[in-house]
Structure 1
Amino acid sequence: MKKSLISLFVAAAIASPLANAQTVNLAEAVTMSLSADPRIKEREQLVESARALLDEAQGNNGLRISANVFVGLAPAVSGGFYQNGATSGTTPRSDGPFPGGLSDWTSLQFSIIKPLYTFGKIEHYSEAAKGNIDVKRGDVRISQADTVMDVKRAYYGYLTARDSRRLLEDVQGKLNDALSRVLRNLKADNGESKQSDLYALQAANGMLAKYHSQAQAIEKISLDGLKLLTGVGLDANLTVADDSLTPVALPKGSLTDFENTAVANRPEMAQLEAGMRARRALVAAKKSENYPNLYAGVIGQANYASRRDTLNNPYVYDPFNNAGLTPVVGMKWDMVQDVSNAQIAQAQAELEALNYKTQFAQAGIPFQVSEAYNQVQANYDALKQLADGAAAGRRWMIASLADFSAGLEKADKVADALKTYALTQAEYLRTVNDYNMDVAQLSRAIGETN
């Protein structure tokens, strides 16, 4: 019974890391990163902030309530109905209880105003706020594109480093076999190997060891970057689904097709259009600040002093003890002419600056597409040539090792064959990585986010 329990615990301990392991392909890694990246969430919150600005602009068309209430002191009354504290009329009162005849006084002034017409202020500021929302949405799309590029860079970089490490370990094993043979021959002093053979193979071994260490470091760094981007955490057990690095499909379409797609789809173009719309609205809003606001509403006030009695006399007004309410229709200016003109000039200049930026973007985006397109074509042709070269290098290596085993080849030639194959195959892997990233860059340049 105890043995059975121990076996279960051991099995559970072995299975636990496997159960927690997570394997993802590139599409899954991109999806996870788009959901986890805090940079995207930051941009999304800025969109919400822009929406709040729109609500603020539109809210200025609603009721405006102003109220002020305070407690103070009412002075002693002199003259009129009262002379020297004595009643001289028909309405009694008493001063105090504070020194000097002061008494308490509570006052309330309030107004409820509804704008009727603002000469376009609310409409123009609202339109500017809507354009700002679209600009912030474009920032979200740009941040998403940045994340996709980071994920692809980490994913392809990991596959490249892993395949390079495997390649170097394979070549290292064959080199070790050759080294062992040379050492045996030198120890036996049978004349089949020379000391220079040992030095040639040891030199090649040092070079391979360097590249192997670099590949291991890049493999670890790339996988950690992928863990960070996908949000699983650096301590998570994450693996990739691809067994090896392979070139992605060559994008279909002409350069002109890609350039037209970019102009239509790039978030920067949509941002510039939205920015122009917002700036034009802002210029119009600043100009409308020179005009008044028409409004209707209700204003009123109430004052109360506990030591004073209400005077029911239309000819006598006591500012410390009264109440009043009236509907109003009015017109209100709130501007400083010189400041308003400066604000208009500033908004107009910013609009013109954005117009020049748009002109540059319309020329620069096609250039970015052309650059990425030509890089894709160049690396696509290069990797086909390198694939043939790497295959020839491997045949050379195998043939040299076979001849060396048969005593027909010198060690320095074997070392050259090993190094040439390793470097050619490593260069092929690097070119595949560059090609895949160029395809990713082309997708981004035409406005695709995946």
Structure 2
Amino acid sequence: MTAPSLVRLLGAVILTAVLLGAGPAAAQPGAPAPMDTVQVDLTETILRALEESPEVDQRRAQKQFATARSDEAQANRFLTDVSINTAHSLAPGLDNVPDGIAGDELYLQPGVTNDWSPRALRPFSRFEIAVQQPLWTWGELSGSIRAARRGVDVEAARVEQKALEVAVRAGETYYGLLLTKALDRLADRTQEVIDRAKREINRLLDEGDEGVSQSDLFQTRLTEEETRRRAVEVEQNRKTARSALRRQLFLSDRVRVQPKADELRPLSFAIHPDSLDHYTQRALQNRPEVRQAEAGVKARRALVDVARSEYYPKVGLRATLSQSVTLPERPNPDNAFIGDSFMGTGTRTGIGVQQNLNFGQTRAQVEQAKAELNAVQYQRTAAEQLVRFEVEEAYRSLLTAQAAVESRDRSTTIAGEWLRTEQVNFDLDLGDTEDLIKAVRADLEARAQYLRAVRQYNGAVLDLLRATGTLADRARSGTLLDAVDDQE
């Protein structure tokens, strides 16, 4: 190979190095060396991200709050009001008490009066227990309970919605790291081509070949520096991708995360024969946004019943038991018509009826509840349409990515065959150096583009699973990496 052809070959290498360097922003160097290494595959990455994500935990906490509100609503069905009240004060003594008169006989003495002088005051306490049980509320209690239960369903759907977001982000981060590793290996291969070119130029210079000059060597050295710079960029991108995956898994900065896979390969995924219709139906069944909207509609319907119940009288049972004590004890006459408020036991029990007569306000509250119900129903319709769109978009993106992988794979095969043919022809002095240079450029470019196509395809598979609402469930069940999509 002559020196000019080698220089042109290095130009092709630089072009490939530029391709390799196009990636995420470089991380800042100087981080401390990790002390431990954790290896994960795609499923483990997603599962750990779901377990450790504070975003998912936040949604779980909101679900716990909704569950507690549901329990509270359920508890209101029986003994909605059970309370104990106490009062503590001072009670008066007795004055003008005739000699020889005591106990129940005192109430017949008109001259006996309360003595409020400080020396006569004594401790007084009153205890009262009250119990209230609704008997008929015209749907107020049952509606509140149904609404609270549907509120739990809403929050559960929001948990799954966030889990899908975290799962697809974790998967994309995982494949981002695999891509940078593959590009790093391709950069090493590029450096090997440059090293061979340098050795060839130095050999020709030593042999006194007139077709080679020091200018060729300088150009080669400049090319090598450019390639080294690109290699550093690729390496820093790889470190950034590893750091991103470590952050996604919430691992310590002293832990080095490493994918178990050695190479970036396309996910084994077979598109369902019913194609778009199948995935759309799966999404309508599984997407948490649809379940959330449906639960919201049911909750709002229950709240309409709650608001409408104000038109009708509420029937309930109430019972109270009170005890008044003054120490030292005052006489407590045992008489059906006379009692002492500072001593004795009392009880009141009965059925009560409560009717709200402000029907104008009730009508307005019912209309507000109906308006909120309509809003949630519109939201449900919008959610279904959005899900349909997202599924179709993800489905067609997957078809495009699949075609790109197949095309890039064929291009890599063709470029490899071309390069081998040109190398054989050149070794036999039958080839053209320009053709060899073009073959080298095509081979390096095809490999780099194929890696990116695989990365894009894997991301499209994950996005379709997210759009159908099955990504997190498949990871939890261990079927994420099945060779074919399920046929249910």
Question: TM-score, normalised on structure 1?
Answer: 0.82
CA gap of 1:212–1:402, structure 2 versus 1, over 3 A, is farther
- The size of the alignment, in residue pairs, is 429
1:367 aligned residue (389, 412, 423): 389
CA gap of 1:246–1:376, structure 2 versus 1, over 3 A, is same
Partner of 2:24: none
Give distance in 2, aligned partners of 1:93 and 1:398: 126
**SS at the partner of 2:211?**
coil
2:241 aligned residue (217, 222, 246): 222
**Cα displacement (A) at 1:163:** 0.4
Q: Is the 8 A contact 1:95 1:102 kept in 2?
A: no
Kindly provide the CA deviation profile for residues 15-64 of structure 1, in whole angstroms up to 9, marking residues without a partner as x.
xx999644332223223333333332332232222221111111111222
Partner of 2:90: 73
Give distance in 1, aligned partners of 2:164 and 2:210: 64
Give distance in 2, aligned partners of 1:404 and 1:176: 19
Q: Is the 8 A contact 1:104 1:306 kept in 2?
A: yes
Q: Is the 8 A contact 2:36 2:254 kept in 1?
A: no
CA gap of 1:271–1:315, structure 2 versus 1, over 3 A, is closer
Any stretches of 5+ residues in structure 2 without a counterpart?
Answer: 1-32, 99-105, 475-488
Partner of 2:277: 256
Give distance in 2, aligned partners of 1:335 and 1:411: 99
**Cα displacement (A) at 1:98:** 4.5
Question: TM-score, normalised on structure 2?
Answer: 0.76
CA gap of 1:325–1:234, structure 2 versus 1, over 3 A, is same
Kindly provide the CA deviation profile for residues 238-272 of structure 1, in whole angstroms up to 9, marking residues without a partner as x.
32221201112343221122222222222221111
Kindly indicate whether residue 319 of structure 2 is the aligned counterpart of residue 298 of structure 1: yes
Partner of 1:427: 449
1:240 aligned residue (259, 284, 289): 259
**Cα displacement (A) at 1:205:** 3.9
**SS at the partner of 1:289?**
helix
Give distance in 1, aligned partners of 2:381 and 2:218: 63
Residues 18-417 of structure 1: matches in 2 within 5 Å? Answer: 21-63=37-79, 64-74=81-91, 89-90=108-109, 95-96=114-115, 98-99=117-118, 102-183=121-202, 185=204, 190-194=209-213, 197-198=216-217, 201=220, 204-205=223-224, 208-253=227-272, 254-306=275-327, 308-333=330-355, 340-394=362-416
CA gap of 1:353–1:200, structure 2 versus 1, over 3 A, is farther
- Name the stretch that deviates more: 400-409 or 193-202: 400-409
Give distance in 1, aligned partners of 2:235 and 2:293: 44
**Cα displacement (A) at 1:104:** 3.6
Give distance in 2, aligned partners of 1:384 and 1:212: 28
Give distance in 1, aligned partners of 2:50 and 2:336: 74
Any stretches of 5+ residues in structure 1 without a counterpart?
Answer: 1-16, 82-86
Give distance in 2, aligned partners of 1:311 and 1:190: 135
Residue 60 of structure 1 aligns with an amino acid whose one-letter code is: N
**Cα displacement (A) at 1:392:** 4.0
Kindly provide the CA deviation profile for residues 301-350 of structure 1, in whole angstroms up to 9, marking residues without a partner as x.
23233363223444434323332113211123579656544443332222
State, as a whole percentage, how many aligned pairs show the same letter.
Answer: 25
Partner of 1:3: none
**SS at the partner of 2:255?**
coil
**Cα displacement (A) at 1:234:** 3.4
Q: Is the 8 A contact 2:426 2:433 kept in 1?
A: yes
Q: Is the 8 A contact 2:96 2:112 kept in 1?
A: no
